[in-house]
Amino acid sequence: MEKNPVIETILKRKSMRAYEKKAVEPQVRAELLNATLRAPTAGNLMLYSIVEVTDQRIKNKLVKTCDNQPFIARAPLVWLFLADYQRWFDYFIASGVESLCAEKQVPMRKPEEGDLFLACCDALIAAQTAVIAADSLGLGSCYIGDIMENYEAQRDLFDLPKYVFPICLLCFGYPTRQQKEREQTSRFQDKFILFENQYKRLTAEEFDEMFREEHAQVFHDRQEVLGARNVGQLIYTRKFGADFSKEMSRSVRLIMKTWMED
């Protein structure tokens, strides 16, 4: 099959966490933004907003509010992706939807859980479109999921209203040579990920196979360093059961409570 440049870009991509001290040129940024905003969006409503963080003091604060990740402060371009129903809700009010509902004698709906998840889908799809577009422009990128932690701090930092959910942060920059040469991460075999027609829970034997494979070597290396008995214990300790995961859940619970309260 002929080489497909889009597939090539996708297959070669890696998260890049160290950047050259070089600004992203305005025309490159414009191209990136243009591509990002072409992402599919539910109902063509664009249920998201992007905040470009240009203030170094805010970047420095993000290092701390996003679980101490210093490379955020060194990223030349930082975009915060927000799931956003505030804009549409404000427009509904501005358009007289309240009186429309009163005339029809029906209560006016407010954004609820389904709307929140749909807006999160929109924001994440735009973010991933940005990731691929960035790569094709020679820019490296890295997601920061920890933006979902410390809601109170992020809300105050960015003046976030009720129906706005900080779903992810993206750091962009021209990657250093070391980052470009770094090995790609591995993935699980597709048979553990893609099922036919119905969901399939994995057996103990299948888990053994999943983590015996060479592609899981990176986990095993870390497991030896940490003395965990298996990869499940390692990931539980380092990720799922770790303090940052607990903080993220507390923070997201608060965001959802804020979103849902009258």
Ligand X SMILES: Cc1cc2nc3c(=O)[nH]c(=O)nc-3n(C[C@H](O)[C@H](O)[C@H](O)COP(=O)(O)O)c2cc1C
Choose which of 14, 64, 110, 162 interacts with ligand X (CB under 6 A). 14
Site size for ligand X, by CB under 6 A? 11
CA distance 64 to 73: 10
Residue nearest to ligand X (CB): 145
Q: Which is nearer to ligand X, 239 or 257 (CB)?
A: 239
Stretch that binds ligand X, among 3-11, 81-89, 100-108, 139-147 (CB under 6 A): 139-147
Choose which of 17, 29, 61, 155 interacts with ligand X (CB under 6 A). 17
> Which tokens in the block code for residue 86?
């505030």
Helix (H) or strand (E) holding 220: helix 217-226
Residue 152 has a CB neighbour count (10 Å cut-off) of 11
Task: Say how far residue 131 (Cα) sits from the centre of its chain.
Answer: 10
**∠ Cα 202 189 134 (to 5°):** 125
Choose which of 143, 192, 211, 219 interacts with ligand X (CB under 6 A). 143
Stretch that binds ligand X, among 142-150, 154-162, 215-223, 248-256 (CB under 6 A): 142-150
* Closest distance of CB 15 from ligand X, Å: 3
**Do 173 and 24 meet the contact criterion of CB atoms below 8 Å apart?**
yes
Q: Which is nearer to ligand X, 14 or 162 (CB)?
A: 14
Asked whether position 144 contacts ligand X by CB under 6 A, the answer is yes
> Which tokens in the block code for residue 71?
């490379």
**Do 17 and 143 meet the contact criterion of CB atoms below 8 Å apart?**
no
Asked whether position 9 contacts ligand X by CB under 6 A, the answer is no
* Closest distance of CB 143 from ligand X, Å: 4
**C-alpha atoms less than 13 angstroms from C-alpha of 135 in its C-beta half-sphere:** 19
* Closest distance of CB 209 from ligand X, Å: 21
Count the residues in the chain.
262
Stretch that binds ligand X, among 35-43, 44-52, 137-145, 231-239 (CB under 6 A): 137-145
Side chain identity, residue 147: I
Binding residues for ligand X restricted to 180-199, rule: CB under 6 A: 185
- φ and ψ at 212, to 5 degrees? -85, -25
* Closest distance of CB 242 from ligand X, Å: 12
DSSP three-state, residue 79: strand
Asked whether position 149 contacts ligand X by CB under 6 A, the answer is no
Interface positions with ligand X (CB under 6 A): 14-15, 17, 69, 142-146, 168, 185
